[in-house]
Amino acid sequence: MADYLRPSSLDEALQALARPWTVLAGGTDFYPARVGRAIDENVLDIGGIAILRGITAEPGGWRLGATTTWSELLEAGLPPLFDGLKQAAREIGGRQIQNAGTIAGNLCNASPAADGVPPLLALDAEVELAGRAGMRRLPLASFITGNRRTVLAPGELLVAIHVPRPARDARSAFLKLGARRYLVISIAMAAATLEIEDGRITAARIAVGACSAVAQRLPALEAALVGATVGFLAARVEALHLAPLSPIDDVRGSAGYRREAAATLLRRLLARFAS
């Protein structure tokens, strides 16, 4: 019989990670990968570690505990900066998945179609990784390195996501494209965070998901938006801005369609900021 450990402290979890464990949090990716077969690996359930859960405002920004669920995020009192992330939260699975699935789980699972990644990239999020040797922080963009691949080292846990407080008032938004309503894997999605002063964009962070192995920021588009007036953002989107994307053909859509749909989503997303 394999081991199951559900520690109540982070320390205990990190000590346990001296040997290999499969980490379990919300279970929404763990169990679907184990349909119809005995579960025979050692499982470290981090869901009982209080410090890993919940959202706190800090001077420099916000700390989202790793095992905070999407529903908890939706219910948290957060500024408009988080609207895009909340819009993504509502599009993840159905309500059952939102009630169980965790933010860090979505990142560590590292699916190209992870709905949480583009809005967090657009929030300039960093991840905090803890190991027995200490902790390290790195940008989300450096954390996920490929399809189902992250830089999480053996013995490390993703313990928190940090969202920095923008220099100015910022708003965010998210759009998802799927072939049905609810419970759908994204064909493409787009997220934007815009800092706005006097009706003009002072900083923009844009990310597109499901159009490359890892969701991508679009720096050229971000640069093109700076200085633009909020009512006229959509027209700034150009095909060239989508160069970082490398969409593929699969059962949900063709590469060409994805590239075009991403541009359409971006235009619509940016148009939303006009109101």
Q: How many residues bind another protein (CB under 8 A)?
A: 50
Q: Which stretch binds another protein (CB under 8 A): 11-19, 123-131, 183-191, 237-245?
A: 183-191
Q: Which stretch binds another protein (CB under 8 A): 31-39, 121-129, 147-155, 206-214?
A: 31-39
What's the rounded Cα separation, in Å, for the pair 117 and 208?
9
The torsion angles phi and psi of 242, rounded to 5 degrees, stand at -90, 10
Residue with smaller CB distance to another protein, 105 or 119? 105
Q: CB of 41: closest distance to another protein in angstroms?
A: 9
96 binds another protein (CB under 8 A): yes
Q: Is 99 helix (H, G, I), strand (E, B) or coil?
A: helix
Judge whether 215 and 207 are in contact, CB under 8 Å: yes
Judge whether 108 and 35 are in contact, CB under 8 Å: no
Site for another protein in 138-177 (CB under 8 A): 177
What are the C-alpha distances in Å from 5 to residues 16, 25, 47, 148? 8, 12, 10, 24
Residue with smaller CB distance to another protein, 182 or 232? 182
Residue with smaller CB distance to another protein, 175 or 207? 175
Site for another protein in 38-57 (CB under 8 A): 38-40, 43, 45, 47-48
Distant-in-sequence, close-in-space partners of 131: CB < 8 Å, separation ≥ 6:
14, 17, 153, 155, 156, 157
Check residue 6 and give left, alpha or beta (phi > 0: left; psi -120 to 50: alpha).
beta
- List residues near another protein by CB under 8 A: 1-2, 4, 6, 24, 26-28, 30-32, 35-40, 43, 45, 47-48, 71, 90, 93-97, 99-100, 177, 179-185, 187, 251-254, 256-258, 260-261, 264-265
